[in-house]
Each structure stands twice: as C-alpha cells, then as structure tokens.
Amino acid sequence: MQTRFWNVLIIAVGLIGSYATVRSWIIGGNSKVLGWYAAALLSFVLIFQQLTLYFRRRLDSEGRALRAQISNYLFLIPSDQSRTFYLNWVFLLQQQSRQAGRGVVFITPEFSQLSLGPETTQRRRSQALSVLEEMDLFGLSHFDGIFAIFANPDEPSSLREIDRYHKLFDSKLVLLDMDLNYSKIEERGFPLIDFVGSSEDEGGRLAAQLAFDYLFNFRNLSRARVLLLESYADIRNRDLWDTRRISSFVSRLTDPNSPLKCDVDIVSLGDCRYSRERTREILTMGGDAGVEPSEVSQFLLGFDLIFASNDDTALGACDVLNEFLQSEEFSIGESAHGLIRHTGPRVIGYNGSHAFFREVALNGSEWLIGTIDVRQDEQAQVALHHMEKLRSMTKSEKIWSGRSDSRLLNQSSSIFRRARFSRPIATEPPKSFQEIPGDASQTRSGIRRPGYVMPIVKIHPLLRDSLLLGTGKNANCVYYLISESDL
C-alpha cells in the first residue's frame, strides 16, 4: 500500500490542489473554499494513514506467521573448524529438527579462531556480543535462541559471558557437551542454565572396562603399560569438567578399591588440544621425552594401549601408528581374530564421531579397538527439546524456576523453594534423557537438574567373539559393534 508511486501521487495531488485553492482564494477572496479544502485534505490524510496502518498490521501479522515457521539459532563453538566433533553438532541439530518435523531450522555457527590467540578471540567474541546487545535495545533480533559450548563454563569470566547471553536471549540458552556446577550458580545468583551432556565419570569407567577386557582378557597380559593422550598442557590439573573422563579412567584401573584388579603403569602426554594434527606432533616428538624420529617406533612399542581424550586425538595416534609401525618390520602376520597384524599399542577413543566409525567400518583400521559413544545424536534431540520448552515458558515460570535475568529474584526464589520444599516448573526431558545413579539430581533449592544421555561402548567388529560374546555375562559393561549404520 505504502509505495513510492502512491507517495509521489498523493504529494503531487496535494500540491496541485493546494496551489489551485490558494490561487482561487487570492483572486476571488472566497475563504470558505480554502477552509473546505483544508478539511477535505486533512480527512484524506487521516483516512490514508488509517488504511496504511491497517495494511501494515496485516502484513506484519502475516510476516510473523511466516517467521514462526522458521527457527534460527546461534551456535557458539570454542574452536576453529578443524574439530569434527564440534562440526557434527551443527549437522545433527539440523538433522534432528527435520526428522522431528520442527519446520525449517537454521543453525548459524560462530567459530572461535584459536589461531588468532586467546586475547584476540575473546575480544572478537566480546565485540560480537556487544553488537547483539545494542541491536536488542532497538528491538532487533535475528536469532530465536542460542546453543553454546564453553571451554571452561565454571570460570568467573565464562559465567559472566554466559549470563550476558542468557539476558540477551531471555533465558533461551542451552549449553552443549558440558556440565555446570549448579551449587556455585545458585550461591552467586546466576540464572539456572540448561545444559545437555554425557556423564564424564561414566564414560571414563566404561573406557577403563574396555581397556581391562582388551589387555587382560583378550591379550591375557599380566602387566600392562598405558599411554594417556590428554588435551591440556597441565596434566596434573584435572579439575575441569571434561578431564573427569581421564580421572575416572585412571582411578578405575589403579585404585586399590576398584573391582578391576590389575597391574597397570600409566604415562600421560598433554597438550594434544583435542586435535588430530597436534596429536601427531606430540607423538612424533615423544612428548616431553623429545625422542628423535628414528626412536618414535621404540617409544610407541613401549605401550600396550593408548587412551585418547577424544576421537580426533585417537585418529591422530592412529596416523602415527600407521606411519611408524605398519610395515614389514613390525608385522606379526594375521592373528586368529584378524585384527592384530602389526605389533604395537591399540587405541581407545572418546565421543563416537563419524570419522572414527568410518576409519573402523570402512577402512578396517587395526589400531582402533573402540570408542566411548556419547550418543551425540540423542544429545542433539534433547537440546532441541529443551530449547522449545524454554521458548514456551512464561515469565512467571522462568522466575519460579530460577531462570530470571535478576540475580535478586533468582536468590529469592531459591530461598523460597528451600523453605517450601517444593519442586519448580522445569523442562521434562524425553525418555532418552536419563539420570545417573548416585548423581545429585537436584540442587539445594529443589531445582531438578537435567540428566545425562548415558554413553555406551562401541568396539571393532573383529573383537566381537572375544569381547561381545566373551563378556556377555559381565554386568559391568555392554559392548556394541561399530558398523556401517553408524556412518
């Protein structure tokens, strides 16, 4: 309705009419003509304005109806585009949205470019956040919610950034692949942040069980030496949430009170950074030992098993094993199981990435014996479920459940819930979202914590007879075979 043509036409008619009326009044001195014209012109302007407002509201209503059919989510990823596990989140969120009939869902990933250095990365992200906050002041918003992964969500600086995103998106924030210390959040008055993740402790336990069965049941060793490939440079600091898989693995194999009675010597190499390329560099240098290239083979042969902190790290180790040990010099011929053809350590991964499954199912790698599958596709489904629940929650529900923008309201509602011993309104997870036995499922104030998608163990198909069938009666672990259906 309100187009350039109509605007020009109305102005032209108004100018011509005004000129003719004023000229007629000046020549004839008839003031009534001028008054009637002014009234008619004013009425026309008012009618046109009302028609314009009507059609604009109608168009806005139709636009909102069309916009409601589309969901656009921002996704913050703490890495460049080289980590396949993070990239897979984008694909899986879109895939799960299509399968569930959620309409059109767009995922806009924002990668932190680690090559620029942490200070540059932090400044870049802070500037982007400031721009979004300024747009929000003008009522402009391009995103319906935000998924995010933070390297260390419990750090004060990370919590402050999470709090800003929470306010910006009106609590429509879901953290992926991580856990939060809810006790600290409540004490500081931060809003309750929804997250989706897998149990790090359970994953480490399952990895230790696979290592034990491979080393002492499959290979019948009396003593074993295990190499840990850790992500962080400081291998002594395992307080971060994602290092619990390592701590749980080590404790399960070495704790005198552990049900796994075995003699294991564990060596750690750090600073692998969850990167395939970085892991190759670390292993070819022999870590802190600084071995010569000619000594890499002997360094690797000093271990019976490698536990990698994630699948990209495991694939990096596989690359090095292929380069240095997959030759006639180290060949032992076909084994009875068809798996061990060259001497050297085998590798256990963590995450259950498509790249890992592809290396086993399609390429038949002899080095990769299994991985802890965190069921990323299930996590993506649960994350979308949480986001939809957050988008449908009323203001009062957000305040009552501790998701308010106000720290005072969050602390007050926390105190009130503790006094009333009540359970607040919370998002109900689907059946695949399970609680971990023994894990605190509630905070002090009664807020029901989200559960976890429980990890499982997937092993090389050629280990089927020895592990899958041989441990069928073992209640400590259930094994699943890697197949082409995982790709």
DSSP symbols for 239-267: -SGGGHHHHHHHHHHH-TTSS----EEEE
Q: What is the pLDDT of residues 212-248, one digit of tens each?
A: 999 998 889 999 999 999 998 887 777 777 888 999 9
Q: Is the separation of the CB atoms in 215 and 262 below 8 Å?
A: yes
In the structure, what pLDDT confidence band is assigned to residue 80 with cuts at 50, 70 and 90? low
250 or 469: which leads in pLDDT: 250
- Which comes out higher in pLDDT, residue 336 or 301? 301
What proportion of the chain, given as a percentage, has pLDDT over 70?
Answer: 71
Higher-scoring residue by pLDDT: 448, 249: 249
Distances (CA, A) of 487 to 143, 355, 361, 362, 483: 31, 8, 8, 9, 8
Identify the CATH number of the domain defined by range 200-374+456-486.
3.40.50.2300
Q: What is the DSSP letter of 466?
A: I
Q: Compute the mean pLDDT over every residue in the chain, rounded to the nearest whole number.
A: 79
Angle between helices 118-137 and 156-168 (to 10 degrees): 30
Return d(Cα 308, Cα 301) in angstroms, integer: 17
Query: What is the structure's pLDDT at 444?
Result: 40
Instruction: Measure the CA–CA gap between 320 and 275, rounded to whole angstroms.
Output: 13
DSSP-derived secondary structure letter, 286 = T
Residue of 352, 364, 310 whose CA lies nearest to 487: 352
For residue 273, name the pLDDT band (cuts at 50, 70, 90).
confident
Q: How many helices (H) and strands (E) does the chain have?
A: 15, 12
**Mean pLDDT along residues 145-157:** 82
Report the pLDDT value the prediction gives residue 447, as an integer from 0 to 100.
Answer: 42
Write the burial class of residue 458 (CB in 10 Å: 0-12 exposed, 13-18 middle, 19+ buried).
buried
More confident residue, 374 or 464: 374
* pLDDT single digits (tens) 88-131: 888 899 888 887 677 788 898 887 654 334 454 556 666 778 88
- Nearest C-alpha neighbor of 108 from the set 139, 132, 130: 132
Which helix (H) or strand (E) covers residue 55, if one does?
helix 31-67
Alpha-carbon gap, residue 123 to 120, rounded angstroms: 5
What is the residue extent of each domain of the chain? 1-38, 70-198+377-420, 200-374+456-486
% of the chain at pLDDT higher than 90: 30
196 Cβ contact list (under 8 Å, min separation 6): 174, 175, 176, 177, 379, 382, 383, 386, 450, 453
pLDDT at 125: 64
Average pLDDT of 153-172? Answer: 85
Looking at per-residue pLDDT, the higher value among 437 and 1 belongs to 1
The predicted pLDDT at position 428 comes to 41
- How far apart, in whole angstroms, are the C-alpha atoms of residue 236 and residue 288? 14
* Window from 50-54, 91-95, 459-463, 465-469 with minimum mean pLDDT: 465-469
pLDDT in tens, 408-425: 777 676 666 555 444 333
Give the confidence band of 82 by pLDDT, cuts at 50, 70, 90. low
Say what the pLDDT of residue 283 is.
Answer: 94
Summarised one tens digit per residue, pLDDT across range 415-461 is 665 554 443 333 343 444 343 333 334 444 344 455 578 899 999 99
Who's near 51: CB < 8 A, 6+ residues apart?
A: 1
Fold agreement between 70-198+377-420 and 200-374+456-486: yes
Any bridge partners for residue 147, and if so which? Answer: 75, 174
pLDDT of residue 4: 67
Report pLDDT digits (tens) over 172-203: 999 998 766 666 666 666 788 888 888 889 99
**Who has greater pLDDT, 84 or 224?**
224
Q: Does domain 70-198+377-420 have CATH number 3.40.50.2300?
A: yes
